[in-house]
Structure 1
Amino acid sequence: MDNHLISQLEKLIDIGIALSAEQDSSRLLEMILQGAKQITRADGGTLYSIEGNAIKMAIVLSDSLGINLGGSFGVPVTMPDIPLYFEDGAPNLKNVVSCSFHHNKTINIADAYHNQDFDFAGTKAFDLQNQYHSKSFLAVPMRNHEGDIIGILQLINAINASDNKVMGFDEISQHITEALASQAAIVLTKQCLIDDLANMFESLVQLIATAIDNKSPHTGEHCRRVPELTMMVAEAAHNTRHGYLRDFVMTDADRYELKIAGWLHDCGKIATPESVIDKATKLQTIVDRIVLLETRFEVVRRDREIALLKQQIQALEQGQTPESAGTQAYLAALAELDEDLAFIRQANKGGEFMPPEDQERIRAFKHRSWRLGGEMQPLLSDDEIDNLTIAKGTLNAEERRIINQHIDVTIAMLEKITFPKHLQHVPEYAGGHHEKMDGTGYPKGLYRSQMSIQARSMAIADIFEALTSKDRPYKQGKTLSESLAILKKMKETNHIDPDLYDAFIEQKVYRHYAEKFLDDYQLDVE
């Protein structure tokens, strides 16, 4: 075996090993074409991809002309596509690469200028314009594992090692190039399958998040905004080069893992009843029960009116003026009823904080009554009082327990998934966004030292999104100043990570997020 053949085989092996390790599709294409050029000592070449009924140039290289187009070179290929079929439907057999595709075979041309089988008019025009001479051609189809041609590898002008003159591609070079093309096609197919599976997985993840958001108009964008804000916080940590975070770095794989965790952080809400997620008022069940209270107040008003009318009739019977009989007391009672109902309606809306004195005023309604079927009933039931005295938001203790349980469901769901190695931390990241640094969070009561920086980043993102969110049923989205003040308080009380909070402030993550997602009225901090 001569030294040249040994060298070619060694290069083929080296290229095969390199191809197996590469994961970037653009780099794979470049390596295939560069490797084929090295093995055959070709001056130039083009790697074509098959897309529909066209052959597209993916990578174009020429050593003597200094051409590097496509892939990661940064210069796009602007040359026209080669049609596989003519307008009448006939196969295009006039171009070397299209003929190679249709006949599913290698085409080796020693001298294009003396070949009558193909149309080299475009090649000759290119040569004339660039003062080049395209002589020898080698076009090799690239077949995947199913035998489909996914691309064409074409080399131009083999260079003789002894005198540097252009020669034809010898038989050995052709066979080795065919071996490389076969191996390259398998690697490309593998990478395409990996990319397709990754894209499908990510699409399914986003589909789950979208389905959860769509369960409620009040959290309609939460599962979309939290992943973005989580990545912003984590990037701020990555860019910090002092203090606790100075050694924290993320690779692209780390970023992808955290992004997936962000999209899945509330997947457990898929099992949370809509009646809890959508509870817009304190008295809401299937309907808002405030209408029942309004009916009771209307009955009380009616009874007051009937009592007044009876009193006026009695006054007439006694020869008195009816207008003077209890009218002032009646009007005062109606005003009091209107005021009480307005207060209950306001309490029913929920809010950030209900003062204790307002809660006591609600409880006092238990001692007031209305008449139902001849029997006196409490104006407000115990259940209605319990709900109307909710201090924050619209959920009572049991409903809060139900909605908090979503994180247990999230963790249980994610732990049942067999994640690949590069996504092993998804359950931990997604499952820790309700934990607090002092161990008072849920569901596991973890301390700061027991949590990853990624999980702590998601905790800040989840809180800040909720504070500024405009679609909660019981509040407007808070301004930046209000939200940052609350977040600062949470840092001081050891609820959120202090170093991540500092990075959040120093690098103005809040501002970048606000400019993308918040309304103008909320942007009161630079």
Structure 2
Amino acid sequence: MKSSQIEQWLQGSPVLKNLPVEVVVEIRSFAEKQVSRIHELVKIGMALSAEKQLDRLLEMIVSEARRFTNADGGTLYIKSEDNVLEFMIIQNDSLGIRMGGTGKKISWPPVDLQAADGVENHRNVSAHCALVGKHVNIDDVYRADFDFQGTKEFDATTGYRSKSMLLVPLRDHEDEVIGVLQLLNALDSASGEVVPFPPHEIEDVTSLASQAAIAITNARLIRELENLLNAFLQAIAAAIDEKSHYTAGHVARVADLTERIALAINKAEEGRFAEVHFSDDELDELKMAAWMHDVGKVTTPEYVVDKATKLQTIFDRIDLIRSRAEILKRDVQLADCIAGVGEVGGAAIDVGTGLTLEEIGALLAFLEEVNIGGEFLSDEKIMKLKEIGAITYQENGQAHPLLTEEEIDNLSIRKGTLNQAERSVINNHVTLTMRMLEKLPFPRKLSNVPRFAGMHHEKLDGTGYPNGLKEAEIPLQARILAVADVFEALTAADRPYKPGKKLSESMKILGFMVKDRHLDGDICDLLVESGLAEYYGCQVLSERQRDNFFWKGEEVSLACSPEDQLKCLQGRPRESKNS
């Protein structure tokens, strides 16, 4: 009801027409105040409903209740599962106190609702309010029957004088008391003096407390559901990691590094990221995508994920080649004996090999070396593999090749241990990741999780997979995840086909990938400038992997003392734009 509506009601009332003017003025003033308070309650309720972040919500409840009652101080208690009242928010304008929520942490012990023997604690006024579920209005706490020893000690320490106090229980939708709102020292709006809380305000504060309780319950429910979703998805990610002991911890490390890079971007004051800031919801979305980026590997065969050598399937087929080499050696030894050679291992008699024992041993050593995946296999070695493939051995009177075509193809893998078919199986995990995540009904603030998770193998030059996206099509979040994934993979000490690279080697490869436009150079620069590369080297890498590295021609010294690590996380010094 607006002021004009009140005036219209007053003028149209036959009863009020016969009353003295002074009375009508009082009625008008009272009606306007009541309407104003109702409007305030509605506005507060709308504000509480809109705030989903629990810490800010709790602060808002106390602030609005204090403003509504003109109280100097306020405290919010929440009932815990341990049956105690936890201090959540403490505010006092005169003392400049802001504790709990987004402010200073509260170290005060909780208020027990029951003694050790199970007797209810009615001596404490906050506990009494929660236990009986009714408001308590005290004109002067120094003259009340409750135990205010703690309040008096606080006053003695701070020079404050606690006097009037109003406590109201917070009830949820099931009428259960979930907390207590305590307001302290109502101030007269004209004189500023401490006065008792007016009885007519109790109903309004109780209404506010009810709205607050519902808002708290909703916020806690949302947080609990989000925690459940996070825990569930992280459990899936951990299970996928544990599927292969070689990749255990990969997802967790990528998620942690992804979040740290995003936070470093938020702190950037210069350069490309100066105007970029991720909100809390965007950070949650990106971290969720990082946790889920390899979920598609749940369908990838273990022998592919764990393929430690080029010839490995269910077992390492280099053992078959060793057996064939033994047959070759047997034939040479047999030929030596037949020829009457006195010393085994001399010049071979041609039995289809033309090889000596030493040459067979050298060939086997070469094959064992090539079987271990490396960064690059030269054309000369591939040619030598084909020559070895032409060698035959005799078994049951028939000639068999020392290497099958499939073995030659696998041993000829230039990088790593996966052949093209196996690489396709691995690459397909990204497509499956997107398909699986797109089937989940993510809330709106997490709606980009499938997209970001499914783009972490895209490259700026368009040669990535699964969709070959160009630079402009890859969002910043996916680029961050890509850098974190590559950096972790390069330094990981638990890969089946290679030992973890030193930090210097990893940063050198990152530099090449930036030059080839596979990774975002600004993000890689930030990895160094923010100190994250140094931090990761000291906190995650083994001592063998820790060394100084070069970035853009400048040497970065790795210092792993606690003081140096603090400096690392504060960021490396940058040149000013104006320098």
Q: Would the TM-score normalized by the shorter structure come out above 0.5? A: yes
CA deviation digits over 1:210-248, x for unaligned, max 9? Answer: 122212222223212223333444455556666765654
Q: Does 1:439 align with 2:462?
A: yes
* Alignment counterpart, residue 358 of structure 1, candidates 377, 381, 391: 381
Using the alignment, how far apart are the partners of 1:328 and 1:105 within structure 2?
105
1:524 aligned partner:
548
Aligned to 1:375: 398
CA change 1:225–1:371 in 2 (3 A) is: same
For structure 2, list consecutive stretches of 5 or more residues without a partner in the other structure.
1-26, 550-555, 557-579
CA 1:246–1:141 in structure 2 vs 1: closer, same or farther (change >3 Å)?
closer
Match of 1:53 among 62, 65, 83: 83
Query: Could you say what the CA RMSD is over the residues aligned between the two structures, in angstroms?
Result: 2.8
Residue equivalent to 1:24: 53
Task: Pick one of 324, 327, 331 that aligns with 1:296.
Answer: 324
Query: Matches of 2:442 and 2:212 in 1, distance apart?
Result: 28
Structure-2 separation of matches of 1:305 and 1:324: 9
Q: 1:70 aligns with which of 83, 100, 107?
A: 100
Q: Deviations over 1:100-151 (max 9, x none)?
A: 22222222334444444x3344444545555555443322111112222211
| Corresponding residue SS for 1:456 | helix
Which residue of the other structure, out of 401, 415, 430, is the alignment partner of 2:453? 430
* Alignment match, 1:107: 136
Task: Map 1:171-250; keep pairs closer than 5 Å.
Answer: 171-234=199-262, 247-250=275-278
Decide which moves more: 432-441 or 10-19. 10-19
Q: Does 1:88 align with 2:112?
A: no
SS in 2 for 1:27: helix
**Cα deviation code 1:309-341 (max 9, x no counterpart):** 3333xxxxxxxxx62798444897211121111
Task: Give the counterpart letter for 1:423 in structure 2.
Answer: L
1:15 to 44, 59, 64: 44
Aligned length: 515
Is the 2:494–2:500 contact (alpha carbons within 8 Å) kept by the matching residues of 1? Answer: yes
Change (3 A) 1:371 1:143: same
Q: Which residue of structure 2 aligns with residue 319 of structure 1?
A: none
Residue deviations 1:135-187 (CA, integer Å, cap 9, x gap): 43322111112222211112233344465554433332111111011100111
Separation (CA, whole Å) in 1 of partners of 2:408 and 2:108: 75
In 2, are the aligned partners of 1:19 and 1:184 still within 8 Å (CA)?
A: yes
Q: Is the 8 A contact 2:293 2:454 kept in 1?
A: yes
SS in 1 for 2:123: coil
1:305 Cα deviation after fit: 2.5
Q: What is the identity, as a one-letter code, of the residue corresponding to 2:534?
A: R
Relative distance call for 1:231 and 1:115 in structure 2 (3 A) is closer
The percentage of aligned residue pairs carrying the same residue is: 43
Q: CA deviation at 1:404?
A: 0.8
CA shift for structure 1 position 394:
0.9
SS at 1:376 equivalent = strand
CA contact (8 A) 2:332 2:345 kept: no
Task: Determine the structure 2 residue equivalent to 1:338.
Answer: 361
The aligned residue for residue 391 of structure 1 is: 414
CA contact (8 A) 2:333 2:344 kept: no
Q: Provide Cα deviations, 1:472-498, integer angstroms capped at 9, x if missing partner.
A: 222222233333333333333333334
From 332, 335, 342, the counterpart of 1:323 = 342
Deviation at 1:192, TM superposition (A): 0.8
Q: After superposition, where does 1:297-316 map in structure 2 within 5 Å?
A: 297-312=325-340
SS at match of 1:49: strand
Partner amino acid, structure 1, of 2:384: R
Amino acid in structure 2 at the alignment position of 1:351: G
Q: Which of residues 473, 486, 489 is equivalent to 1:463?
A: 486
Displacement of 1:403: 0.6
In the alignment, the residues of structure 2 paired with residue 73 and residue 243 of structure 1 have an alpha-carbon distance, to the nearest angstrom, of: 31
Structure 1's 129 and 252: CA in aligned 2 closer, same or farther, altered over 3 A? closer
Change (3 A) 1:228 1:131: closer
Residue 412 of structure 1 pairs with residue 435 of structure 2: yes
**Residue in structure 2 matching 1:98, options 99, 117, 127:** 127
Give 2:399's aligned amino acid: M
Distance 1:477 1:502 in 2: 22
* 2:330 aligned counterpart, secondary structure: helix
Structure 1 residue 60: Cα displacement: 2.5
TM-score, scaled relative to structure 2:
0.81
Segments of structure 1 that go 5 or more residues without pairing to the other structure are 313-321
* Structure 1 residue 148 corresponds to structure 2 residue 148: no
Q: Which residue of 1 aligns with 2:15?
A: none
Q: Name the amino acid aligned to 1:58.
A: M
CA gap of 1:495–1:163, structure 2 versus 1, over 3 A, is: closer
| Matched AA of 1:72 | T
Aligned AA for 1:382? E
Rounded Cα–Cα distance in structure 1 between residues aligned with 2:257 and 2:92: 45
Distance in structure 2 (CA, Å) of the matches to 1:504 and 1:78: 36
